[in-house]
Amino acid sequence: MNAAMAAHTACVWEVLARKVGNVHPGANFADLNYLDFIHSAGALMKALTEGGGVGETILRAVQLRREVTPSNTNLGIILLLVPLAKSENREQLEAILASLTIDDAKYAFEAIRLASAGGLGDVSEQSVNDEPTVTLLDAMRLAADRDMIAKQYATGFADVFDFGVPHLLRAFERLGCVEAAVIECQLQWLAKFPDSLVHRKRGGMSALEVRIRAASVLQYGGIGTSDGRAAALGLDTYLRCDGNRLNPGTTADLVTACLFIALRDGKLKASDPFAWPVSDWL
């Protein structure tokens, strides 16, 4: 599957999967719904087909997204998928990241400002509100200790390749459909890493509480068991309290990156079974 189609499919699968705490067809937020994410997926696919460098494509994708929805649905996805889509493998990705320029940073900073995404890449040394003086990779390195998307740039997407994709594929093999694999992959991410969006909105203690609750779901056997599903439903209720301020949005972006790699590399196919046929889920 070519990169643009893989990106679109990954984005659509991510929002259609009934993940805990996130938007899906059965759970909208007050300011956006799952169709906003579907339209945003189309905008990203168009940007990827137009060519240009990494920074230019990031900015173009945000501009096109703003034409279909005013909400910041997918900045994190854009930041992750654009360099992935411009590479065919892990080695090429590392070369692309190493070749990023100050101009790439300028375009990306403008995209972040347009998306009104407070906090991402915004550190005292290189605020997104100022003109960058370092490359996009160096700017991401400055934010890598507190933002999981920036960390992927700084580490060659190591968490995605070495943690997320293997968990996604193992879950697909065990559970037999894409939707369940996506949900299980999300829980693995939540149990392992603090969600950057939750941390920004609610602080470190709330991010830690989410990790503890997600780990508890996995201790019950994950969503492959009835006890695990019951615990996950409790986690979903918890994440949706307080006006969805506990929405684990960064984790959703990282899951989308895992889906993209699996599709691009032929480990998953668009024709694979998607829907999870269980009666005791969302």
| Beta-bridge partner residues of 24 | 27
Q: Which pLDDT value is given to residue 122? A: 47
Q: Which pLDDT value is given to residue 40? A: 98
How is the chain split into domains, by residue range? 3-264
Contact 80, 257 (CB under 8 A): yes
Q: Which pLDDT value is given to residue 125? A: 61
Three-state DSSP at 24 gives: strand
**Rounded Cα distance, 187 and 121, in Å:** 25
**Rounded Cα distance, 5 and 69, in Å:** 21
Buried-state track 106-141, b at ≥16 Cβ within 10 A, e below 16:
bbbbbbbeebebebbbbbeebebeeebebbbbbbbb
CATH 3.40.47.10 fits 3-264, yes or no: no
- Nearest Cα residue to 193 out of 224, 138, 225, 155: 155
Against a cut of 0.75, is the pTM above it?
Answer: yes
Q: Which pLDDT value is given to residue 260? A: 98
**Rounded Cα distance, 164 and 162, in Å:** 6
DSSP codes, 36-102: HHHHHHHHHHHHHHS---HHHHHHHHHHHHHHH-SS--SHHHHHHHHHHHT-SSHHHHHHHHHT--H
- Nearest Cα residue to 233 out of 276, 189, 172, 280: 280
DSSP codes, 106-146: HHHHHHHHHHT-TTTT--SSS-TTS---S-HHHHHHHHTTT
**Rounded Cα distance, 238 and 63, in Å:** 34
Contact 109, 128 (CB under 8 A): yes
List per-residue pLDDT tens for the chain, 282 residues long.
999 999 999 999 999 999 999 999 999 999 899 999 999 999 999 999 998 999 999 999 999 999 999 999 999 999 999 999 999 999 999 999 999 999 999 999 999 999 975 444 444 466 788 899 999 999 999 999 999 999 999 999 999 999 999 999 999 999 999 999 999 999 999 999 999 999 999 999 999 999 999 999 999 999 999 999 999 999 999 999 988 889 999 999 999 999 999 999 999 999 999 999 999 999
